[in-house]
Amino acid sequence: MTTDKPEGLSPRSTSRGRPRTSGTATCARCGRAVGKTRATWPEGRICGPCFTTATRTQGTCPECGQHRLLPGPTGISGGPHCAPCAGILHDFHCTRCNTEGEFYRRGICARCALREDLNEQLLTEFSDPETTGKIVDVLCKADRPESIITWKRSPKVQALLGSLSRGEIPLTHEGLDAAAETASREANHLRALFIHHQLLPYQDPYLARFETWIENKLRDLPEEVAKPVAQFATWHHLRRIRSMTTPEKSAQAPVHSAKQEITETIKFLDWLWDTHQRTAATCIQQDIETWLATGPTTRKAIRTFIVFIKNTGTNHRVDMGHYTAKTRPTITQDQRIAWLQELLTGTSESLPYRVAGILLLLYAQPLVRVAKLRIDTVETNEANGNMWITFGTHPVPVPEPFAGLLREHLKRRPNLRTGSDTQSPWLFPGTRAGQPLHPNGIMGRLRGLGIDLLAARNTALDEHLLMSPPPLVADALGFSHQVAFLHADNAGDAWSRYVNLRTKP
C-alpha cells in the first residue's frame, strides 16, 4: 500500500494577502522589519498586522478573570492578558456602544461606523422609516461589519439600497426580482440576508431561478415544441419540486436534474419537428430509437418526458425503458487510502474541502448530500470525546484522526462573518446568508486535486458492503435498500444474496 501523495495532485498555495512592507522599525511581537508601526505598548513598537490580531482577540484574562479584549502579548504565562493587566494604557472601548475592539473611525468600532454610514445614506430620504430601519439593523448584524462597509461602496449596491429606502423598489421578492435585472448579484445577496433575518418570507433561490430559466427557454421555441415542453416543465417538474422544497430541503439537486431533462427534451422535439415534422403527440417508437442510437448517452434524459406524455394520454404509442450504464468506475482500495491520508494530513486544500472529501471517501456520501449536512448531524460525547455523525436512520461513529479534523472544522467554519451571523445551521456554510456551500463548488475543488468522485464513492460503498449486509449499510449511510443491493450485485459481493438465502423455505 502506497503512502505517496496521489497522482495528479496540484497543491494549492497557502500564502494569503500582501507581504509585509520592509522598513527600519522592528515589531516587538513578530520581529519583522516594518515601514510603519501602529502603536507603542510596554514591550515596544507594534506593527499593523500584530495590532489587528491583538485588537480582535477576545477571551478570559488569566489574571483578572474578566471576559474581554485581550491585546496583551501571547508569550506571557497563561496566555494574552487584558489591556490593564498587560500594562497597555490605551482605552479600546467604542465611544458609542462601549464594545472593546479595534477602532474603525474616530474612536468608534466598525459596527457603529457602518450604522452611521447607513443612517446617513438611507435615513435622509425614505418613504417608510420602519422598513428602512429594519434594513439598517439587518446589515449591521453582520459578525464582520467591515465586509459590509466594503460591499456597500459599490455603486450598484448604493443605488439598490437607495431605491429600497425611497420605496421605488418594494421590499418583496417581486421587487428584488425586478432589481436583479440590472444588479443580479447584489439583489440576490440582499434577498438571502432578508430571508435569513426573516425580513422576507422563505423562498428557495434555486426554485425561483428555475422558474425564470423555464420562461427564457420557452421564449424562442416554435409552438410545436414550446407547448409540450411547457406542460412537462410546469405539471411534472415545477409541481413536484414545489411540493418537496422546504427551508431544510433545498431544491438544488432536483432543479439541476430537471434542467437536464428539459434541455434534452427540447433538443429531441426540435430534431423531431425539423427532421420529420412530427410532434410529441405524433411521435413514433422508431423516432425515439433513432434519436438514442445516433447521439451521446445524455439523450437518455428524455425518458421522463416519454413517460409523461404516455401517462397523460398525449401519446400511447411510444415507450422507453431504464438506461443501464455499461461501465461502473472504481478506484483501487490503495488509491482510496492514499487520498484519505492526503486529505487527513496534507495541505493541498483548505479545511472545509478536506472534510467534505473525507466524507465522500470514508462514508460514500454524494457531495450533493454533503453540502447540505447540518451541524446537528454531528454529536460528541463530552465525557469520552467519542463522535458520531448521522446520514441515515441512526448515527455512525467518526474515527480518529478524522474526528479531530471535524472538531477543528466545527470551530472554524468559514463564511460566518459577512452577513448571516454565527448561527448558521450548515456544516458547510456558503457565502450567501442562510445557504450552504454549493455542491458544484465542492466538486470542482476535489476534482481539481485529481479525485474521481464517482469512482471514489463506488469504492467506498463497496468496502462497506464487504463488511456488512446491504440493508445495514443502507440504513447507516442514508441509501435506499434497492441502491445498496444494486451496488452489492455490481461489486460481486456475497452479502447481495443474503436476503434470498435467508428467505428460502
Question: Does 466 lie in the same domain as 365?
Answer: yes
* pLDDT higher than 50, residue 504: no
Can you read off the three cell numbers belonging to residue 93? Answer: 472601548
Any alpha helices (H) in 153-301, and if so which ranges? 155-166, 173-179, 184-196, 205-219, 223-231, 239-244, 252-276, 285-293
Distance between CA atoms of residues 121 and 166, nearest Å: 11
Write the pLDDT tens digit of every residue in 335-367.
999 999 999 998 888 999 999 999 999 999 999
pLDDT at residue 326, as a whole number: 64
99: in domain: no
For residue range 404-456, list pLDDT tens digits in order: 999 999 988 887 765 555 578 889 988 877 788 889 899 999 999 999 999 99
Residue at 179 is within a domain: yes
Answer yes or no: do 464 and 384 share one domain: yes
Strand partners, 207: none
Predicted local distance difference test score (pLDDT) of residue 183? 86
What is the reported pLDDT for 499? 45
User: In the predicted model, what is the mean pLDDT of residues 470-499?
Assistant: 77
DSSP H or E run through 378: strand 378-380
- What pLDDT, on the 0 to 100 scale, is given for residue 25? 86
Query: What confidence tier does 385 reach under pLDDT thresholds 50, 70, 90?
Result: confident
Tell me the C-alpha distance between 14 and 347, whole Å: 8
**Domain, as residue range, for 269:** 206-311
Reply yes or no on whether the pLDDT at 399 is more than 80: yes
CB 459 within 8 A of CB 331: yes
Q: So what's the pLDDT on residue 324? A: 63
Q: Which are the contacts of 283, defined by CB distance < 8 A and separation ≥ 6?
A: 272, 309, 315, 317, 318
Domain end (from 86, 101, 128): 86
- 350 and 404 part of one domain: yes
Cα angle 169, 171, 176; round to 5: 65
pLDDT band at residue 77 under the 50/70/90 scheme: confident
The count of domains in the chain is: 4
Does 1 reside within a domain?
Answer: no
For residues 158 and 30, membership in a common domain is answered with: no
User: Could you tell me the pTM of the whole model?
Assistant: 0.63
Lowest mean pLDDT among 73-82, 132-141, 309-318, 455-464: 73-82
User: So what's the pLDDT on residue 10?
Assistant: 47
Mean pLDDT on 56-80: 87
Cβ-based burial of 84 (10 A; exposed 0-12, middle 13-18, buried ≥19): middle
Provide φ and ψ at 379, rounded to 5°: -120, 145
Above pLDDT 90, what percent of the chain?
52
Distance, in Å, from the CA atom of 426 to the CA atom of 405, rounded to the nearest integer, reads 17
Mean pLDDT across the chain:
86
Residues 399 and 304 in one domain: no
pLDDT beyond 90 at 289? yes
Instruction: Looking at the structure, tell me whether residues 71 and 117 fall in a common domain.
Output: no
Q: With contact defined as beta carbons under 8 Å apart, do 229 and 266 qualify? A: yes
Residue 354 is placed in which grid cell?
Answer: 478536506
pLDDT at 478 over 50: yes
Higher-confidence residue: 23 or 320? 320
> How is residue 226 written as a grid cell?
414550446
Same domain flag for 356 and 482:
yes
Tell me what the mean pLDDT of segment 219-237 comes to: 94
| Sign of the dihedral defined by the CA atoms of residues 476, 477, 483, 489, in that order | negative
Rg (the chain; Cα; Å) = 29
pLDDT at 58 over 80: yes
On whether both 366 and 474 belong to a single domain, the answer is yes
Domain endpoint, select from 170, 203, 236: 203
The pLDDT, as a whole number, for residue 493 is: 53
Residue 92 falls inside a structural domain: no
375, part of any domain: yes
Does residue 235 belong to any structural domain of this protein?
yes
Query: Do the Cβ atoms of 54 and 38 come closer than 8 Å?
Result: no
CATH no. for residue 465? 1.10.443.10
Q: Which three cell numbers stand for residue 107?
A: 474612536
The whole-number pLDDT of residue 1 equals 38
pLDDT in tens, 250-281: 788 899 999 999 999 999 999 999 999 999 99
Instruction: Name the band, by pLDDT with cuts 50, 70 and 90, for residue 497.
Output: very low
Residue at grid coordinates 463548488: 441
342 and 478, same domain (yes or no) = yes
Domain boundary among 311, 344, 377: 311
The CA distance from 98 to 108, in Å, is 9
Dump pLDDT digits (tens) for 132-185. Answer: 888 999 999 887 888 889 999 999 999 999 999 988 999 998 899 888 888 888
Q: Are residues 149 and 75 in the same domain?
A: no
Same domain assignment for residues 30 and 61: yes
Residue at 100 is within a domain: no
Residue 11 in this model has a pLDDT that exceeds 70: no
Same domain for 293 and 213: yes
Residue 316 has pLDDT above 60, yes or no: yes
pLDDT of residue 154: 92
323 versus 400: the higher-pLDDT residue is: 400
Does the residue 325 lie in any domain?
Answer: no
